[in-house]
Amino acid sequence: MPRSFAALTWRQYRLERKMFWRNPSAAFFNFLLPLLLLALFGALFSGDQDDLDVIVPGIAGMSVVSTTFSALAYNMTSMRELGVLKRIRGTPMPSGAFLLGIAAHAVTNTALQIVLITVAGKVFFGVDWPPQPLELVAFVAVGVVCFASLGVALSHVIPNNESAPAYVNAIFLPLIIISGVFYDAEDVPSFLSGIAQALPLTHLIDGLSGAMVTGVGLGDHLSSLGVVVAWTVLGVVLAVRGFSWEQRRS
Amino acid sequence: MSSNELAIEVRGLRKSYGDLEAVRGIDFTVRRGEVFGLLGPNGAGKTTTVEILEGYRERTAGEVTVLGEDPQLRSRSLRERVGIVLQTSGIYRHVKVQEALEHFAALYPHPRDVDEVIELAGLRHKRDAATRTLSGGQLRRLDFALALVGDPELIFLDEPTTGFDPAARRDAWDTIRSLKALGKTVVLTTHYLDEAQALADRVAIIKDGRILVEGAPGELGADGGAIRYRIAWRNGNGLLNQHETDDPTTFLHELTSQALARGERLEGLTVTRPTLEDVYLELTT
């Protein structure tokens, strides 16, 4: 049986996919919830194309966050506390192949969601096919690395499984509300928009909006991309530095 | 002894966590094919020592060689030859027993047959069960199976039978004996002294980060003078007498010659060596 880095990454990836679909609550929160919200807000805003043009890239941005940031914060905390990480550490599985398999699993969910949201936008919500597909790929790719690394970094702070939802939602819910997922970010009061401008999601949604709706190209969103990249660097540093294979003994 | 007859060599091992010195300079060797028991109270430094050997922790000082390699370099080739049963370690809740074993088997160059390992671990009827439905004892057997599936030369067992009922413990002992019969080296930490007595070729008792005594479980303390034989007998009017001595020869000589002189038979005379438990309690409490 091949035991190359790539073969073992693929094995880990396939195991993660299988485990994901066997866990209905994870599958629901990670997968169906953004689509459900899109359907609900789509119905609410039906007839008002301006609002629909906001909600489609907004939900796309939110699903990048939920499939990577939230999912990995939960996943890494639970694998650490369950002792899966420590067990794997004692086998010949290369750490990189193991972590890459998990990350690839999360990114598969992101990609599937972006496709579903794009199709739903075209079919139900009067949003055309993305005018800037390359820009879409670029922002999703950077967004995925950014929020995945921040999710892993957050897991280092979460002390145990039981408190994981509290930590994740304390960040996720305010983040999506101030970052213009459900309405135009320009309608946000200025003191909140200042915070939102410093955080990566607003900029990700700006980029996605250009890619999926307005057709404003990557060249005009370089500063947004820059903010997301800056958070990515921070996320990667924090994810690597705080990493622990062991259960917290408290 | 040439070093390739040794599975493990530890010299002057020290480990500090900040100001706390958990391991304070210990030396021991484990021969290939031997079952070596590491005993000691909680917090004695057993788990720290074993986790250094397993490659989980870096030592503060000293030399450690495991199967000819330094475990803290964490080489893949070493991890391919070592199997680990941790005190507590989980597994995906939704994975099935057979799937888990197949996943882990694929990590090793020469894995054992998965069906054979399932059989050996007594999990035949649970092969298609999700791990979240297994009992504590069954999960522990899965831990065993996962550690054995790579066909390791050296197996670390940290409290392997904690929480087992007596029958399950006997089964686990049989499994450990079968590993020894296959020529595997086993390092066992346990709280159960009968377990160490039954399984280990040699044991070391650790307390406060130091090895107090080391040797075959039945001979422990023999050279340090710590061993005290217990001699019991009934005298002429049927009363039970007991005496402890580190020099049974002289004592028995006097006892028996006095009895002969009085024409008594010394009914119920017994001479017992201290059990591992006696030695352990004497040293650690």
Question: At which of B215, B246, B271 does a domain end?
Answer: B215
In a domain, A248, yes or no: no
Which structural domain, as residue segments, surrounds residue B267? 229-284
Which structural domain, as residue segments, surrounds residue A92? 5-241
Q: What is the pLDDT of residue A209?
A: 94
Question: Which is more confidently placed, A180 or B52?
Answer: B52
> pLDDT tens digit string along B130-187?
999 998 888 988 999 999 999 999 999 998 888 788 888 888 899 899 999 989 999 9
Greatest extent of chain B over all pairs of C-alpha atoms, in Å: 77
* Same domain assignment for residues B168 and B258: no
Across the range B102-128, mean pLDDT stands at 95
Choose, out of B75, B76, B107, B140, the residue to mutate when testing the contact with A (most A CBs < 10 Å): B107
B163 in Cβ contact with B136 (< 8 Å): yes
In the block, residue with structure tokens 């192949």: A97
- Determine the residue type at A47: G
> pLDDT tens digit string along A110-149?
999 999 999 999 999 989 999 999 999 999 999 999 999 9
B4 in Cβ contact with B69 (< 8 Å): no
Which tokens is B162 given? 């904690």
Nearest to B67, CA basis, from B130, B6, B151, B131: B6
In a domain, B247, yes or no: yes
Q: What are phi and psi of B124, to 5 degrees?
A: -55, -40
Nearest to B15, CA basis, from B212, B191, B208, B283: B208
* Same domain assignment for residues B121 and B253: no
In a domain, B275, yes or no: yes
Q: What is the pLDDT of residue A64?
A: 96
In a domain, B224, yes or no: no
Across the range B122-130, mean pLDDT stands at 94
In a domain, A218, yes or no: yes
Q: What are phi and psi of B213, to 5 degrees?
A: -160, 150
In a domain, B204, yes or no: yes
Chain B residues with at least one Cβ partner in A under 8 Å: 54-56, 76, 79-80, 82, 84, 86, 88-95, 99, 103-104, 106-109, 130, 146, 150
Find chain B residues with C-beta within 8 A of A15's C-beta.
Answer: 92, 95, 99, 103
In a domain, A250, yes or no: no
Alpha-carbon gap: B89 to the closest alpha carbon of chain A (Å): 4
The segments of chain A whose pLDDT lies below 50 read 250
pLDDT above 90: residue B41: no
In sequence order, what are the beta bridge partners of B204? B38, B214
Burial B123-155 (b: 16+ CB within 10 A, else e): beebeeebbeebeebbbbbbbbbbbbbbbbbbb
Q: What is the pLDDT of residue B15?
A: 96
* Same domain assignment for residues B192 and B276: no
Number of domains forming the structure of chain B = 2
- With CA atoms as reference, the chain B residue closest to A91 would be B79
* Same domain assignment for residues B178 and B239: no
In a domain, B223, yes or no: no
- With CA atoms as reference, the chain A residue closest to B55 would be A90
In a domain, A66, yes or no: yes
Question: At which of B215, B240, B264 does a domain end?
Answer: B215
B26 in Cβ contact with B209 (< 8 Å): yes
Number of domains forming the structure of chain A = 1
Contacting residues for A51 by C-beta, under 8 A, at least 6 apart:
A45, A183
Question: At which of B184, B215, B246 does a domain end?
Answer: B215
Choose, out of A9, A85, A86, A91, the residue to mutate when testing the contact with B (most B CBs < 10 Å): A91
CA B227, B231, B232 angle in degrees (round to 5)? 150
pLDDT above 60: residue B222: no
Q: What is the pLDDT of residue B69?
A: 96
**CB contact (8 A) between residue B109 and residue A3:** yes
In a domain, B129, yes or no: yes
A29 in Cβ contact with A164 (< 8 Å): no
Alpha-carbon gap: A170 to the closest alpha carbon of chain B (Å): 26
In a domain, B109, yes or no: yes
